[in-house]
Amino acid sequence: MNGDMGQSFIVGATQPQGTEFRIRVRDADDRLVAGGRVYTFSLPPTCAPRCSAPFTAVTYTTTAG
């Protein structure tokens, strides 16, 4: 997955060829944001094999880091 809001990030799925992702966010000083909270989300089925829209909204859950 590639997102570009001034920076670009490549995020790998939790499984090869998967659609579920888990991320933790770091600030400019490389410190974890929000206590290292883990954000989990999945891409919708319409994104198989890839998302065609430039933006795809998803719902997510959070767990303590």
The DSSP 8-state label assigned to residue 26 in this structure reads B
Q: What is the dihedral of CA 41, 43, 14, 35, to 10 degrees?
A: -20
Return the pLDDT at 9.
74
Return the pLDDT at 53.
85
Q: Per-residue pLDDT tens for 9-62? A: 778 889 988 889 999 998 889 899 999 999 999 999 888 888 888 888 999 999
- Cβ–Cβ under 8 Å, residues 25 and 34: yes
5-11 average pLDDT score: 71
Return the pLDDT at 5.
60
Q: Which residues contact 26 (CB under 8 A, 6 or more apart)?
A: 32, 33
